[in-house]
Structure 1
Amino acid sequence: MSQSELLVSSWCKNAKSLPADYIMPPEKRVTDFTVSKEIPVLDLEHEAGPGRSALIQQIIKASQEFGLFQVINHGVSDELMHETMSLYEEFFNLPVDDQEKLFSDDFFSSVRLYTSGYNYANEDFHLWKDTLKHLTHPLEDVVQGWPDKPSRYREVMTKYSVEVNKMTTRILDLICEGLGLEEGFFRGEMTKGIGMVINNYPPCPEPDLAMGIHPHCDPYILTIIQQQVYGLQIKKKEQWIGVEPIPNAFVIMIPYQLQVISNDKLRSCEHRGVTNSSTARISIVTFCGPSKDCEIGPAKEHVSASNPPRFKKYKYLDFQINYLHQLSKKNLCNETALGPYLL
C-alpha cells in the first residue's frame, strides 16, 4: 500500500464500521455538547466610522469570554469563498496517484498532505481526517510548490491568500488597538509565518466512536477558519459548545501567542473537531504566526506593579518545539504548552 492510500478519503466510501484503530477510548469520545447561539457575530463594516470603538470592545470581550468570534462583511467575496471550498472538495476527491507526491511525514515540509495526526505511525488511535498544509507567505517563494491539481489551484489560492491576509491584518490592528499596544505591533516579524491547514472529514460510519481533531489550542497569533458544515466545538467553562456555521462568515480564533502577549487578558481557545455520518466537512484554516526567531512575552502595556508578567519571554521556535513534543506524547493541554513559560 502506498502512503497516500492511507488517506481516509481513499478507502472510507465503502466502510460500514470503523477500523479498530479509529475507535477512540471511551474517555476521548464526544458526549455532551450543545450548538451555541451565543458566540458573537461581529460586523467588520463598522471598522471605519463611529462604530469602530464599539466593534473593538466587542472583539476584546469575545476574545476574553470565548476565545473566538465570527465576522461578517469582512471583505472576502462570497464568490471567492465558494470557489475555494469547491476547489478543496475537488482536491480531496482526486485519484490517489495525483495526491501521492504531496504525502509527507515531515512536519516542517513547506507543502504536506497527511492523514490523522502529525505522526500516523506512532499513534494508538487515528483521527478521522486528511489534511493538506502549506505556507502562503511570501507568495512568490512558495506558490510553485503548491499542488498543481486541480488545474486552477494556484490561481484561486493566490487570490484567496491575498484577500484573507488583508482581513487578518485588519482584525489584528483592531485587537492591537483594543489591547492598547503601539500601532503596528502585529506587523513584521510578529506575523511573518502565514500558511493554511485544510482538513477534510469524510462521512463517518460511526461518528460517536470517532474523533476528527483532539482538543487543543493553536500555537499561532491568529487562526481564521472557513467552514460550511457543523463540526467545530469549543470549550467554555468546562463545557463543550458547538460553533454554528454561518454562511460566508469566518471564525476568528485566539491562539496561545495572543494569550501570552496580552498577559492572560485574552483567552486561547480550546477546540476540537467532530465527525458526522452523512456529509463531508472541509475546514479551511489560515494561520498567522511569528517568525521562528521572534521573541514573545507579555507586552509592556500589560505589565505593571499590580499586574506582573505571568510568562517568561521565549523564542517562538522554542515554543513550537515544545508544542510538537507534547503533541507527539499525546499530552497537549494548556499546562504542558504554556507551563514551561509560566512565572
Structure 2
Amino acid sequence: MKGDKDSRWFEVECVPKNYIFSKEDRPQNLDAPVSDSIPVIDLAISNLQASAVNINGHNTQLVEQISMASQQFGFFQVINHGIQEKTLSDAMIVVKEFFDMQLSGKETRSRHKEGYIYTRSIDYVKDGVHLWRENLKHPCHPLEECIHLWPDKPTQYQEVIAAYLVEIQKLSSRILEMICEGLGLKEGYLKDTSEVQLLVSNFYPPCPDPSLTLGLLPHYDPSLITLVYQGGSTGLQVMKDGQWLNVGAIPNAFSVNIGNQLEIISNKKLKSVKHRVVTCAHEARQSIVTHVNPCLDCVIEPAKILVDELEPSVYKASQYKDYVQRNKAFGDYTTAIQNA
C-alpha cells in the first residue's frame, strides 16, 4: 500500500514496512481459541426469576452478575438487551456504506471537519508504524444538535445512526444503573452526569499477515463504560491476568467494558480493562463503538460512600475535561470530545 487516495486494502499482498510493529508490540498466539471465561449476561428479565426483581425494578441476579464481571474482568457481553436486530443491522450497513465510499476513492483521504473526523490508517502512528484500520469519529450529545454535522453520505446515515444512538442511550443507562446498585450507590447516581457522548466506527480490512500488525493498540478507555457492537466479527481482545483473551463474536451481542472514570468513581473496586484489536487474514472486521462519558464539566472522584478510614480515596477529584486534556494519548478522541 502506497498511501495514495486510490489505494485499496484488498490489493495489498504483503504488510508494508510502515505497518509492521516491533516484535514486542506484535500480537502473539493469534490462533488461541475464543475465551469461555468472559462473562456473557442475559438481560432478558423473562429468563430470570420474576421474584428476584427489587424495588428499583432491577433483577438482583443481573445486578450481581454485572457487579462480579465489572470487578473481576472489567468486561462482559450482554445478550437479549432489547435493541431490535433491524436497528443493529441498519446501523452496520450504513457504516459499511460510508467506508466503502472512502475506499472507492470517491472521497478525500482524511477529513477533520466540524462534527466528525474521518481518518485512514496512514494517519495513526506509533513510533512511525501505522494501524491497520479506517476510522470515523463524531460526537453525539446533545443528539439533536449533532445530527446535521455528521456525514451526509450515505443519505440514510444520519437518520439510521440517530435511531441507533437512542437505543444505546437506553441500554447504557440501564447497565449503569445496575453497576451503581452493585456498588451500593443511590438510584440515579450517574443519571444526570452520563452521556452517550462519542461514536467511533472502525473498519479493519483483511490483513496478509496478522502477526505483524495491529488494528488498534492496547489501551484503556477514558469513559464511564464503552459499548461495542461487532456484528459477529472477531478480533477484539481483552487483558486478564497478563494474558490476552479473544472475545467471542456472539450475534447481536454488545461488548461492555469499564472505563477509567468508573474505576475512579468506584475507588478502584471496578477495573478499567486494557483491550486491543488484532487483524484477520480472511475477512474484514467492522465495529461501532459508543463511549458513555461524564459531562465535560462534571467533577469525577470516588463516591463518598465508598471512602472511609479503612479504604481511603485512591484518586484526586478532577473535572472530566481536565482529565481528557491531560491524557493526550487519546489522540483524536480528545479532539472529538472537545468539539462535542
Please give the TM-score of this superposition, normalised by the length of structure 2. 0.88
Q: Distance in 1 between matches of 2:90 and 2:149?
A: 21
Count of residues in correspondence between the two structures: 318
* CA-CA distance at 1:4 after TM superposition: 8.2
Q: Which amino acid aligns with 1:205?
A: P
Q: As a proportion of its length, which structure holds more helix? A: 1
CA RMSD, 1 decimal: 2.2
Match of 2:229 in 1: 226
* CA-CA distance at 1:110 after TM superposition: 3.2
Runs of 4+, deviation exceeding 4 Å: 95-98
Match of 1:116 in 2: 121
Is the 2:209–2:281 Cα contact (8 Å) retained in structure 1?
yes
- SS of the counterpart of 1:203? coil
Give a deviation string over 1:91-112, Cα, whole Å, max 9, x none.
11115565439712x8xx5311
Match of 2:303 in 1: 299
* CA-CA distance at 1:123 after TM superposition: 5.0
Q: Distance in 2 between matches of 1:171 and 1:4?
A: 43
Q: Distance in 2 between matches of 1:246 and 1:97?
A: 33
* CA-CA distance at 1:50 after TM superposition: 3.0
* CA-CA distance at 1:31 after TM superposition: 0.6
Match of 1:62 in 2: 69
Q: Distance in 2 between matches of 1:34 and 1:216?
A: 22
Match of 2:89 in 1: 82
Is the 2:121–2:131 Cα contact (8 Å) retained in structure 1?
yes
Q: Distance in 1 between matches of 2:186 and 2:74?
A: 22
The 5-angstrom pairing of residues 228-307 of structure 1 reads 228-307=232-311
Q: Which amino acid aligns with 1:16?
A: E
The reply on whether 1:195 has 2:198 as its aligned counterpart is yes
Is the 2:41–2:62 Cα contact (8 Å) retained in structure 1?
yes
Match of 1:341 in 2: none
Match of 1:24 in 2: 21
- SS of the counterpart of 1:140? helix
* CA-CA distance at 1:121 after TM superposition: 6.7
Is the 1:103–1:114 Cα contact (8 Å) retained in structure 2?
yes
Is the 1:102–1:147 Cα contact (8 Å) retained in structure 2?
no
Is the 1:34–1:240 Cα contact (8 Å) retained in structure 2?
no
Q: Distance in 2 between matches of 1:314 and 1:139?
A: 26
Of 161, 186, 193, the residue aligned with 2:190 is: 186
Is the 1:137–1:195 Cα contact (8 Å) retained in structure 2?
yes
Q: Distance in 1 between matches of 2:152 and 2:115?
A: 15
Of 99, 113, 116, the residue aligned with 1:92 is: 99
- SS of the counterpart of 2:185? coil
Identity %: 40
* CA-CA distance at 1:137 after TM superposition: 1.6
- SS of the counterpart of 2:135? strand
Give a deviation string over 1:29-49, Cα, whole Å, max 9, x none.
011354201111111123994
* CA-CA distance at 1:327 after TM superposition: 4.9
93 and 191 in structure 1: CA distance in 2 versus 1, 3 angstrom threshold? same
216 and 13 in structure 1: CA distance in 2 versus 1, 3 angstrom threshold? same
Match of 2:218 in 1: 215
Give a deviation string over 1:33-86, Cα, whole Å, max 9, x none.
542011111111239943411110100100111111111111110111112112
Tell me which moved more, 192-201 or 71-80: 192-201
- SS of the counterpart of 1:198? strand
Is the 2:124–2:131 Cα contact (8 Å) retained in structure 1?
no
- SS of the counterpart of 1:205? coil
- SS of the counterpart of 1:76? coil
Is the 2:19–2:130 Cα contact (8 Å) retained in structure 1?
yes
* CA-CA distance at 1:120 after TM superposition: 3.5
Match of 2:5 in 1: 5
Q: Which amino acid aligns with 2:307?
A: V
* CA-CA distance at 1:169 after TM superposition: 0.7
